[in-house]
Amino acid sequence: MTAALVVGLLVASGVFLLLRRGLLRVVLGFVLLGHAVNVLLVSAGGMQRRGVPLLGEAEADVAADPLPQAFVLTAVVITFGITVYMLALARAGDPGATTGEPAPGEDADRGGEAADLDQRTEGGPS
C-alpha cells in the first residue's frame, strides 16, 4: 500500500514537471518518474520478505527477491547516464556558451527555467 502511494505520488509529480516549460523541469520530471519505476520494480518482487538474499544470511522463506533489486540497479545506472546527457543538452543549446551572443528565436525554444540555470552558472564562481 505504501509503495503504491509512493509510486502514485512520484508519477504525479513527475508528469506535472514533464508538462512544464523548460528542459530543466522536464529532466527533474524524468528523475522523479525514474524513481517511481524503481519503487515499482522493487515492490514487484514482493514487499513482505526483506531478508538479505544471500546464502547463509537468511532463510529462503524470508529472503527478498534479488532479481528486481538487480533490475533497479541496472535501471538506476541507465537513468543516471541519460539524465546527465539531458542536462548537457540543455546547456549545449545555450548559444552564449560558445559565442556569447543569443541566437534569434532560440529563447522561444527553451524554457525560462533553463535560462535561469544558465545565468546562475555563469554568475557563479567558475
Partner 1 sequence: MTGGLLVLPVAGPLLVAGLLALVHHRWPHTTRLDRVVGPAAAGGVLVFAGFLLAATSGGAVPVLQLGGWQPGIAIVFAADTFSAVMLAVTSLLVLVSLPFAAALGEDEDPAFVPLVLVLLAGVSGAVLTADLFNLFVFIEVMLVPSYLLFAAGGGAERLAAARLYVSISLMASTVLLAGVGLVYGVAGTVNLGELAGAAESSPAVGFAAAVVLLALGVKSAVVPLHGWLPQTYSRTGPAVAALFSGLLTKVGVYAVIRLYSVVYGGAPRYLWVIMAVALLTMVVGVLGAVGEHAMRPVLIFHMVSQIGYVFVGLALSTATGLSATVFFLVQYVLVKTALLMCAGVVEHRYGTGDLDRLGGLARREPLLAGVFAVAALTLAGIPPLSGFVAKLGLASAAAAAGHHLAVALIVGVSLLTLLSMVKLWNGVFWEPPDEQPGADGDAEPGEASAAADGGASPVASALGSRVRPLVLAPPLFLAASAVVLGLWAEPLLSLSTVAGADLADPAAYVAAVTGR
Binding segment toward partner 1, per CB under 8 A, in 51-59, 64-72, 115-123: 64-72
CA atoms of 72 and 91, how far apart (whole Å): 28
Residue 95 near partner 1 by CB under 8 A: yes
What's the rounded Cα separation, in Å, for the pair 14 and 90? 18
Choice from 19, 62, 67, 84 touching partner 1 (CB under 8 A): 67
Q: Which stretch binds partner 1 (CB under 8 A): 50-58, 75-83, 115-123?
A: 75-83
CB of 5 to partner 1, least distance (A): 16
* Interface with partner 1 (CB under 8 A), residue from 92, 112, 116, 119: 92
* 95 Cβ contact list (under 8 Å, min separation 6): 101, 102, 103, 106
Task: Dig out the grid coordinates for 49 from the structure.
Answer: 520478505
Q: Is 47 in the site for partner 1 (CB under 8 A)?
A: no
DSSP 110: S
